[in-house]
């Protein structure tokens, strides 16, 4: 299985080439109710190497050769990319191959760790996840590993924000579970001060039904009352992109 896929037409990132540092069955520190990666998974907070760095290098060189108009390279894929212990090493390899900016989609659960913070600080765009305003909802929506708490995750995002000079985005997946909590989430977002809040709802195949356009519009207005810059999944322009390998791309979590 290839570790590099796309380009993916991402509503957040543009034409994004994905690097999957997990690249097998889903491995994540969460098991979100809306996850599109299937029911078979390993839940862990232990960092380890899932794929050899050299393999990623070879896949990237090959895909970059074939792909056109790539705007950004994104660490994403079959789970939580900060679980990969060779993330730092892979970043340095990618920097040696291309000048394209880098992004990462993280569920924020390991952001409280110093080594994860230091690695993510070297990436131009970090997209963090926050779906719940309190522990109860966090447990219900994200179903985290038992060692992860809401307060630790929120503290990790805030700590990272304070020392990060790149573009920090906060992505929130809205469903029926948290739509009544938009005001509390907007309050937390205002404390975090991201460059942008990505207001999402599961439009891709998911066990959970998405919110409709008018529900998302109302949520957007709540965030705008706090002077937050927002983008919703419904506002995105459909970008047409030819992927190098359709099957590989379809399996992964896109940007």
Task: Name the nearest CA neighbour of 72 among 247, 210, 239.
Answer: 239
**Least gap, CB of 212 to ligand SF4 (angstroms):** 21
Phi, psi of 50 (to 5 degrees): -95, -35
Residues 177-236 that bind ligand SF4 (CB under 6 A): none
Nearer to ligand SF4, 57 or 109 (CB): 109
Shortest separation between residue 66's beta carbon and ligand SF4, angstroms: 27
Count of Cβ atoms closer than 10 Å to residue 37 Cβ: 20
> Residues 8, 21, 32, 185: which binds ligand SF4 (CB under 6 A)?
32
Pick between residue 37 and residue 241 the one whose CB is nearest to ligand SF4.
37
Contacts of 6 (CB under 8 A, 6+ apart): 15, 16, 17, 18, 63, 67, 70, 241, 243, 244, 249, 254
Give the footprint of ligand SF4 on residues 110-139 (CB under 6 A). none
DSSP 78: S
CB of 3 to ligand SF4, least distance (A): 16
Whether 255 contacts 5, CB under 8 Å: no
**Residue 171 Cα distances to 17, 68, 229, 239, angstroms:** 19, 27, 12, 20
Does position 253 interact with ligand SF4 (CB under 6 A)? The reply is yes
Q: Which is nearer to ligand SF4, 39 or 99 (CB)?
A: 39
Among 19, 37, 84, 90, binds ligand SF4 (CB under 6 A): 37
Applying CB under 6 A, the site for ligand SF4 has a residue count of 10
Q: Which residue has the tokens 């839940």?
A: 43
Query: Shortest gap between Cβ of 61 and ligand SF4 (angstroms)?
Result: 27
Per rule CB under 6 A, is residue 21 in the interface with ligand SF4? no
Site for ligand SF4 in 47-106 (CB under 6 A): 79-80
Is the N-terminal amide bond of 226 cis, ω within 30° of 0?
no
**28 is a site residue for ligand SF4 (CB under 6 A):** yes
The least distance separating ligand SF4 from the CB of residue 36, rounded to whole angstroms, comes to 7
Q: How many CB atoms lie within 10 A of CB 177?
A: 16
List residues near ligand SF4 by CB under 6 A: 28, 30-32, 35, 37, 79-80, 107, 253
């Amino acid at each position: 299985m290839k570790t590099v896929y796309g380009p993916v037409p991402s509503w957040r990132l543009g034409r994004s080439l994905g690097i999957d540092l997990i690249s097998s069955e889903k491995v994540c520190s969460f098991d979100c109710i809306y996850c599109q990666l299937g029911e078979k998974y390993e839940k862990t907070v232990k960092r380890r190497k899932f794929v050899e760095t050299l393999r990623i290098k070879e896949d990237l060189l090959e895909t970059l050769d074939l792909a056109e108009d790539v705007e950004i390279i994104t660490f994403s894929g079959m789970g939580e990319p900060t679980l990969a212990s060779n993330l730092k090493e892979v970043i340095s390899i990618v920097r040696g191959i291309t000048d394209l900016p880098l992004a990462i989609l993280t569920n924020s659960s390991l952001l409280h760790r110093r080594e994860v913070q230091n690695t993510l600080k070297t990436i131009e765009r970090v997209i963090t996840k926050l779906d719940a305003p309190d522990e109860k909802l966090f447990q219900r929506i994200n179903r985290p590993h038992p060692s992860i708490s809401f307060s630790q995750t929120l503290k990790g995002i805030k700590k990272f924000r304070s020392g990060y000079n790149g573009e920090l985005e906060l992505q929130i997946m809205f469903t029926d579970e948290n739509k009544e909590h938009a005001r509390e989430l907007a309050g937390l977002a205002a404390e975090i001060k991201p460059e942008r809040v990505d207001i999402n709802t599961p439009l891709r195949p998911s066990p959970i039904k998405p919110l409709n356009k008018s529900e998302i519009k109302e949520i957007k207005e709540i965030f705008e009352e706090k002077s937050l810059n927002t983008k919703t999944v419904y506002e995105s322009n459909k970008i047409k992109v030819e992927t190098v390998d359709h099957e590989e791309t379809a399996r992964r979590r896109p940007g």
